[in-house]
Chains A and B, each alone.
Chain A
């Protein structure tokens, strides 16, 4: 039962263009969503997050959009740079009645390649 899905295993874009990574979820109790970037032989690095009460959060070149009705979120990277080439994971957590379950549920990841 995959509650968080990244349906695109890989994405290739040209330097300077926009990269759009997508993520779908099924659990309606998820209310905090995060994106992580991972380089080989390193742990995931936190990029940006969004609470379920918002539909957009922006941090520099990174913007996350949340569509709760569609249970869909996306990460936009503009402009894309070769250094952005990595595996990107979306993740979600549940908070019920003010209590955290602690765990993050991750998607399978999307390999982003940005060509010079």
Chain B
């Protein structure tokens, strides 16, 4: 069974640009989650999508947005990039809103802002 896949592995942008990160969940999973792991900080929850809708959002500015497609894959978009957005962005998936189901993570996209 294929795990959560993320692309690209690395992404280099400059300040003010936009970045798009992609995630494919495990087959059968309807929920996709996005987390940010900045240097020196722990994993911080960004967004949760389930069945195509945004279900919850972490404490991040509106320039962090995303969507979930009918095949349950997801995109994370970061607009007006700032130096502090340099981080590892992790995507996870789970079996929707079924209780007590673990989230399974991909290997992440390393976003570097120059």
Contact = CB atoms under 8 A, between A and B. Distances in A.
B106 interface: yes
Query: Interface range on chain B: under 10, 10 to 19, 20 to 34, or 35 or more?
Result: 20 to 34
B43 interface: yes
Nearest to B31: A102
Contacts of B92: 43, 104
A62 interface: no
Interface string B85-114: 000001010000101101111111000000
A34 B105 CA distance: 13
Contacts of B100: 32, 49, 51
Interface stretch (B48-56, B67-75, B76-84): B48-56
B43 A46 contact: no
B16 interface: no
A92 to B, nearest CB: 12
Query: Interface range on chain A: under 10, 10 to 19, 20 to 34, or 35 or more?
Result: 20 to 34
Contacts of A98: 99
A102 B55 contact: yes
A102 B48 contact: yes
Interface in B13-46: 31, 33, 35, 42-43, 45
B96 to A, nearest CB: 9
A89 interface: yes
B42 A102 contact: no
Contacts of A51: 100
A103 B90 contact: no
A100 interface: yes
B106 A104 contact: no
A25 interface: no
13 contacts: A32-B100, A41-B107, A42-B107, A46-B102, A46-B104, A89-B42, A89-B43, A91-B43, A100-B99, A101-B56, A102-B31, A106-B42, A106-B43
Interface of A: 32, 34, 36, 41-46, 49, 51, 89, 91, 95, 98-109
Pairs A-B, 3 closest by C-beta atoms? A102-B48, A43-B105, A103-B45
Given A101-B56, A104-B45, 16 more contacts: A34-B102, A36-B105, A43-B92, A43-B105, A43-B108, A44-B43, A44-B105, A49-B100, A51-B100, A99-B97, A102-B31, A102-B48, A102-B55, A102-B56, A103-B56, A107-B42
